[in-house]
Amino acid sequence: MAYEHVSTRRVEFSETDMAGLVHFTNFFKYVETAERDLFEACGISLIDKKNGSFSGWPRTRLNCKFSAPLRFGDTIRIHLMVKALKDRAIEYQFRIYRLDGENQKTLAAKGQLTTLYTKFDAESGVLRSAELPQSVRDALQAMPETAG
């Protein structure tokens, strides 16, 4: 069972603004990349399509504190941790670091994200929250209180 995943990537030119800095909305895309990587590493489908219905993870809450800029070409490391598994939701804590050289990193942002497990019923046309699948509960666990 996993409670943490680390993803590393480089900042692309298209993610920057006219000042050459990463636009703040891209920080959230980085967190979503780490979430996808976590699910893939655990063998869980992030979006599950079956018989005209699907399930997914809309975002219900997000906060972020920015503390250092990111620029084109920077290598970043995204730490995503499962803070809590709820009946119908997952709460994450994240940190995004800029790698400044060997064994040096700068905290660029930190925050929390809550996702809600939902199912779309093709017959009724309604998207509703649902209990977390057992496969998710078997693959993920909340981080220890000493972590984070």
- For residue 61, being part of any structural domain is answered with yes
Q: What is the dihedral of CA 128, 132, 133, 134, to 10 degrees?
A: -160
What SS3 state is found at 136? Answer: helix
- For residue 8, being part of any structural domain is answered with yes
List the beta bridge partners of residue 84.
91
One-letter identity of residue 90: I
- For residue 144, being part of any structural domain is answered with no
Overall domain count for the chain: 1
What's the whole-model pTM score?
0.90
Q: What is the dihedral of CA 82, 84, 89, 90, to 10 degrees?
A: -10
Segment 46-101, tens digit of pLDDT: 888 876 778 999 999 999 999 999 999 999 999 999 999 999 999 999 999 999 98
- For residue 21, being part of any structural domain is answered with yes
- For residue 62, being part of any structural domain is answered with yes
Quick check: 67 and 55 in contact, CB under 8 A? Answer: no
The CATH number of the domain holding residue 51 is: 3.10.129.10
Written as six digits, the tokens of 59 are 């975002």
Residue range of the domain that includes 19: 4-139
What SS3 state is found at 67? Answer: coil
